[in-house]
Amino acid sequence: MHYPKVVRTYCPKCRVHTEHDVEKAKKRPASELKWGQRRFRRATSGYGGFPRPKPEGRAKPVRRVFLKYKCKKCKYTVQPKSWRAGTLELVEHR
């Protein structure tokens, strides 16, 4: 799917429609202090095999697309609700 790098949309800080730069959101490293990560470390530590079976098969054909919109006027960033797409390519608008 092709998506423009620059989109004219509503900025909640300016309270008016402005141009926004679009970029893909990157995944942050998991915090070691979160409960799920602590449970995972406890389960995989020490002797013995891995507690869960490895996932079989290929990756899913469709993944969630997370985009960030950065206002060119005030530099405020918004990450709206995601959607699913097979591939996403940011392209220059003609």
Q: Which residue has the tokens 């097979």?
A: 86
Handedness of CA 34, 39, 40, 46 (dihedral sign): positive
Return d(Cα 20, Cα 5) in angstroms, integer.
8
Return d(Cα 6, Cα 49) in angstroms, integer.
49
List, in order of start, the domains of the chain with CATH numbers. 1-26+63-94 (3.10.450.80)
Q: Which residues are 84's β-sheet partners?
A: 64
φ and ψ at residue 40, rounded to 5 degrees: -65, -45
* Helices then strands, each counted (H, E), the chain: 1, 8
> For the segment 15-74, what is each residue's pLDDT rounded down to a tens digit?
999 999 999 999 889 899 999 999 988 888 888 777 877 778 887 889 999 999 999 999
pLDDT at 94: 66
Using DSSP bridges, classify how beta strands 89-91 and 67-71 pair: parallel, antiparallel or unpaired: unpaired
pLDDT at 52: 78
Specify the pTM.
0.75
